Amino acid sequence: MTFHSPLRVLALDTCTESCSAALCVDGNLFTRIADAPREHSQRLLPMVDEVLKEAKITLADIDVIAYGRGPGSFTGIRICTSMTQGLALGCDLPVIGISTLAAMAQMAITEHGAEQVFCAIDARMNEVYVGQFIAENGIATLVGTEQVCLPADVELHLDASKSIKACGTGFDAYPTLTELAVSIEVVEAIKFPDAKAMLALAEFGVSQGMQTSVDDLAPVYLRDTVTWKKLPGRE
């Protein structure tokens, strides 16, 4: 498949309370975002239509769709992956999954000059989704693995002697996470991922050949899905 240069990327995310879409075309950025935790399925496709119209292109002109693969709300991840599947199938487009934690880390790197980022999302049931990242050539790069665990079980794998930016709702729910190092500074402006931060990660991923066909679309829940089935209505 021949891609445009620069890459034309459509990014979608509904994995947390925030719902967002972003499009990069010829270096121009078009974005939509809304805090609408129970309206993702109604909000996302209109957002996609709006950014495409603003850019004056159609879905068929896109090179790749980047989707929020999780972790986050079980329902939100399913909405994002199913809508990505529908859009990609219609135009036979490749897709690339982007971690919601990495997207937040990328925001801290791009917008706040962070070199190290500690991301935590409130996972409910007294647990947190955690990812730790460093900036490598301006791109959020995972240190260790992403995990879901009790706040008390979180171990810091970043350099505590240097500044660490902290992002996500996990620090509101469990303030003791900031006690892992005196160098941790919470970035209040970054509570949730934003699709616009996924664009750089997607472009880097495509340069590494990480895009797949829609048949290999891979959501990441971290938590065993059986747990969710025991909690009707829980997100």
Phi and psi angles of residue 183, each rounded to the nearest 5 degrees, phi first: -85, 0
Q: What per-residue confidence (pLDDT) applies to 139? A: 98
Q: Contact 134/210 with Cβ under 8 angstroms?
A: no
* Domain assignment of residue 169, yes or no: yes
Per-residue pLDDT of the chain (235 residues; tens, 9 = 90+): 678 889 999 999 999 999 999 999 999 999 999 998 788 889 999 999 999 999 999 999 999 999 999 999 999 999 999 999 999 999 999 999 999 999 999 999 999 999 999 999 999 999 999 999 999 999 999 999 999 999 999 999 999 999 999 999 999 999 999 999 999 999 999 999 999 999 999 999 999 999 999 999 999 999 864 343 433 444 4
Q: What per-residue confidence (pLDDT) applies to 15? A: 95
* Domain assignment of residue 60, yes or no: yes
Question: How far is Cα 216 from Cα 184, in angstroms, rounded to an integer?
Answer: 37
Q: Domain limits at 91?
A: 9-100+193-229
Same domain, 52 and 132: no
Q: Measured in Å, how far apart are the chain's first and last C-alpha atoms?
A: 38
Ranges assigned E (strand) in 113-215: 116-122, 128-136, 139-149, 164-167, 184-186
* Domain assignment of residue 4, yes or no: no
Question: How far is Cα 80 from Cα 130, in angstroms, rounded to an integer?
Answer: 20
Same domain, 106 and 93: no
Query: How many folded domains does the chain comprise?
Result: 2
Nearest to 170 by CA among 122, 235, 131: 122
Q: Give the CATH number, domain containing residue 159.
A: 3.30.420.40
Same domain, 167 and 200: no
Same domain, 39 and 148: no
* Domain assignment of residue 203, yes or no: yes
Q: What per-residue confidence (pLDDT) applies to 206? A: 97
Nearest to 67 by CA among 221, 218, 225, 192: 218
pTM: 0.93
Same domain, 13 and 87: yes
Q: What per-residue confidence (pLDDT) applies to 223? A: 83
* Domain assignment of residue 2, yes or no: no
Q: What per-residue confidence (pLDDT) applies to 225? A: 47
Same domain, 81 and 139: no
Exposed, middle or buried by CB within 10 Å (0-12, 13-18, 19+), for 77? Answer: buried
Q: What per-residue confidence (pLDDT) applies to 37? A: 77
Q: What per-residue confidence (pLDDT) applies to 116? A: 98
